[in-house]
Structures are given as C-alpha cells and as structure tokens.
C-alpha cells in the first residue's frame, strides 16, 4: 500500500520517500504531503457530478475516492476500519442565510461522521494503511476530536492507541477517549513541546503518531474538497469558511481543491477562509500582520477548544493556501462563537460544537465588512458535533407540578 510512494514538502517542494515516522521535511522542517496520483479515466464511475453516489456498489464516503488517494487500498484494508466516514451532506441554510444576510448559504456537515467530526476521514485512511503494513500501535497528540477518533478507529482495527493530552484537559473530554481502551497520558507541557516529543518518542518506541498534519491524515481529509466539488459542480462556491486549529485540515481542503482543478474536474477553487477564536489565533493574527508563519500567542483562552492550538504545526501551510485561493484568515470572539452556535441550532436543526460555530461567526464578520456580498455563494464547514464539547451556557427551567400547567 505504501511501497515506492513519494512525499513532497508543502513549502520547499523537496521530495523524499514515505516513512512511517516522517512528518516534517528534512530540509526546511515544514509538513510533508503525498504527491497526487495522476487522474485515470476509470477512476470515477458514473460521472464526477454524481453527488457523491457510490461508484463501486460496495463502499462510499471517503472510499469512493480510494483511487484518487496516494496509497493503494484493498477491500480487506477498508473493511478493517470502515464505519461510514465521509459522504457528509451539503445542507442549504435558507433561514440562517436570511438571518445573516447571505442569500446562498450552505453547510457541509462533518458532524455526521462516526465519532462526530471531520477527523474520522484522516484517521480511517491512516489506520487502514498502518494496520495493513503490520503496525500494532498508533498514537496522537490531541485534547478532543482527533483523540477520540484515533481511539475509536484503533479499537475498530484491533490496534493499541496511545493518546497524549495536556495535563489540564477536563475529565469530561477524556471519558469518550478512554472508553475505547486507549492508553491516555496526561502531560504537563505546552502543546508544541508535546507534539515534537511525540515524534521522537514514537520512532524510538514503535508507535506511529498520526498527528494533525500527518500526510496520511491530510490524504483522507482532502476528500472533503472532493465531495464539495461534486456536490456543487453546477454552481461552485465563491467562499468556503473552515474553522482552523493546527492548519492541517485547512491545508487538506486546499490540496483537495487544487487537485480537482488541476484534473479539470471543476473550473476553480472557492476562496478559503481560515476562522480562529480570538483567544487563540496564531494564524489569523499572522494574516493581519502580513506574516508567512504563525504569530506567537500566549496560552489558549477560548470556549472553542477544538481550534485552540497556540503553535499550529501547519500554520504556515494554511497561510499559503489562504493566499493561493484568494482567501484570508479571520478571528472571532467567544461571545460571537456562542451566539453563532445557538443560531445554527435554532435555524438549521444542527447542534455543533463551539469550534464549528466559529465558521458562522466569521461569515457574519465578513458580511459586516463588505468582504462577502449578499449574492455570494458561501459554504461553511461544520467540523464537529455539539456533544463533542461542553454544552452551551443556556438556562434550564426548574421542574413544575403538572397542576401548575
């Protein structure tokens, strides 16, 4: 599945062979990614614009695109991990669009994935490849969605999972990880240091860490862009907003759109917007200051825990994709995020975690500034489900007697 596959540096373009523990370029230190395979006529049947229909009659979702991914997959590898990842709906948000002043607003709902977030796409691809290669232990550095995803897919494939989290991670976020049998390690250190140490420790102890910017993870998560392209082929989006933490998913979506444009399957990519919380905005702050690398920020202080990464390992890559697509990066306040979370729930029926709601808050900011016009076709990525985070601070009524009614 991974023999003779080549990786390319996302920054300097240097090439090197795929390695289980190779995440960063040996020349410049930036993230590595797979070189896209050439498009073959028989890759997608029926037509590309089939609305994400199953092409093989056997598997759909992420695996509909297996011939467009760098690794080769056989049915046994897919069966070992498949839980229905990918194939998420693109929902028209008429009422919400009317409320915020966007006539053509759509939501790509990744909260429908098996563990409630987009992370399942990348995890499924990574675990399929690694388990087929005989790897017995995988790991990740995360405090939420990715940790839960890795723990669940490791359990599905019969692998051991090592999950490293920060020492301050709340207990309620650890239970959904531990329930799958993962080995949880709480570490009293900043995220960046934990991330860097995981790569060294993993190589020394035979644990392959599938962190946020893993080339395998990016390869799975780029299928978000493939699906959006199929679902909107007749009327492409002008803008697409992505709540952003490490920059890995934002970069995966940029990569996916660049590939379908290069193959001639769609005419253009939407302008991609990275949305971050004001309390932890190294990418958005860098954008505001015209920088090419993430800006140093202090400790994360935001309700949107899933996008609170002070040292995003793919931050520079995300900034490049924002520029390449004609997009930008913005930051929004916690109050705006919590308001947006309730607006999405009451106007669309979708309950998402605060990080996912940041996309709507970013859209409202760009509408107010005139950057996005009322006639623009806009999409927002709903990155994670509401139950994956603490509930919103809403008043709960006291019990009453039936006779009082």
CATH number of the domain enclosing 332: 3.40.50.1100
The full 3-state SS of 171-236, as one line of letters, equals HHHHHHHHCCCCEEEEECCCHHHHHHHHHHHHHHHCCEECCCCCHHHHHHHCHHHHHHHHHCCCCC
Sign of CA dihedral 220, 222, 224, 229: negative
43: left (phi over 0), alpha (psi -120 to 50) or beta: alpha
On whether residue 211 sits in a domain, the answer given is: no
On whether residue 351 sits in a domain, the answer given is: yes
On whether residue 204 sits in a domain, the answer given is: no
Domain that holds residue 237: 90-116+217-388
On whether residue 221 sits in a domain, the answer given is: yes
Tell me 391's DSSP state: P
Distance CA 269, CA 173 (A): 35
Question: What confidence tens digit (pLDDT) does each residue in 250-292 have?
Answer: 999 999 999 999 888 889 999 999 999 999 999 999 999 999 9
Name 211's Cβ contacts closer than 8 Å, sequence gap at least 6: 23, 140, 141, 142, 146, 195, 198, 199, 217, 246, 313
Among 288, 293, 212, 201, CA closest to 247: 212
Mean pLDDT, rounded, for 11-30:
85
Distance from chain centroid for Cα 96:
23
Strands 160-166 and 183-187, sheet pairing: parallel
CA angle, 116 then 148 then 215, to 5°: 90
Q: Kindly indicate the confidence band of residue 55, based on its pLDDT and cuts at 50, 70 and 90.
A: very low
Q: Kindly indicate the confidence band of residue 56, based on its pLDDT and cuts at 50, 70 and 90.
A: very low
Question: What confidence tens digit (pLDDT) does each residue in 142-197 have?
Answer: 878 999 999 999 999 999 999 998 887 777 778 889 999 999 999 988 888 898 89
Classify residue 183 as exposed, middle or buried by CB count within 10 Å of its CB (0-12, 13-18, 19+): middle
On whether residue 241 sits in a domain, the answer given is: yes
On whether residue 254 sits in a domain, the answer given is: yes
On whether residue 61 sits in a domain, the answer given is: no
Number of domains within the chain: 1
Name 94's Cβ contacts closer than 8 Å, sequence gap at least 6: 105
On whether residue 380 sits in a domain, the answer given is: yes
CA dihedral 59, 63, 67, 72 (to 10 degrees): -100
């Amino acid at each position: 599945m991974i023999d003779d596959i080549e990786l390319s540096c996302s920054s300097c373009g240097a090439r090197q062979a795929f390695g289980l523990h190779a995440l960063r370029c040996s020349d410049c230190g930036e993230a590595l990614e797979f070189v896209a395979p050439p498009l073959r006529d028989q890759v997608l049947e029926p037509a590309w614009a089939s609305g994400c229909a199953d092409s093989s009659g056997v598997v759909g979702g992420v695996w509909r695109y297996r011939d467009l991914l760098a690794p080769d997959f056989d049915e046994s590898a897919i069966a070992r991990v498949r839980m229905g990842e990918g194939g998420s709906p693109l929902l028209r948000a008429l009422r919400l669009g009317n409320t915020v002043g966007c006539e053509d607003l759509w939501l790509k709902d990744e909260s429908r994935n098996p563990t409630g977030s987009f992370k399942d796409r990348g995890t499924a691809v990574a675990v399929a490849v690694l388990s087929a290669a005989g790897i017995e232990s995988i790991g990740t550095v995360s405090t939420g969605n990715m940790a839960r995803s890795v723990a669940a897919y490791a359990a599905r494939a019969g692998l051991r999972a090592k999950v490293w989290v920060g020492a301050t991670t709340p207990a309620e976020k650890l239970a959904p990880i531990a329930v799958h049998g993962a080995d949880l390690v709480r570490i009293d250190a900043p995220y960046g240091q934990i991330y860097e140490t995981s790569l060294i420790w993993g190589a020394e102890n035979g644990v392959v860490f599938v962190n946020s910017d893993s080339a395998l993870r990016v390869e799975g998560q780029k299928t978000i862009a493939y699906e959006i392209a199929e679902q909107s082929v007749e009327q492409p989006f002008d803008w697409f907003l992505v709540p952003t933490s490490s920059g890995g998913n934002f970069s995966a979506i940029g990569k996916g759109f660049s590939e379908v444009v290069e193959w001639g399957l769609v005419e253009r990519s939407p302008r991609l917007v990275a949305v971050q919380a004001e309390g932890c905005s190294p990418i958005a702050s860098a954008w505001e200051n015209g920088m090419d690398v993430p800006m140093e920020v202090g400790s994360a202080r935001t309700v949107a825990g899933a996008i609170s990464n002070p040292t995003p390992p793919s931050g520079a890559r995300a900034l490049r994709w924002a520029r390449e697509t004609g997009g930008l990066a913005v930051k929004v306040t916690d109050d705006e995020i919590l308001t947006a979370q309730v607006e999405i729930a009451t106007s669309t029926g979708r309950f998402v975690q605060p990080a996912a709601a940041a996309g709507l808050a970013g859209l409202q900011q760009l509408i107010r500034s005139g950057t996005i016009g009322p006639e623009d076709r806009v999409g927002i990525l709903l990155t994670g489900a509401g139950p994956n985070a603490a509930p919103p601070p809403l008043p709960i009524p006291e019990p009453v007697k039936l006779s009082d009614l």
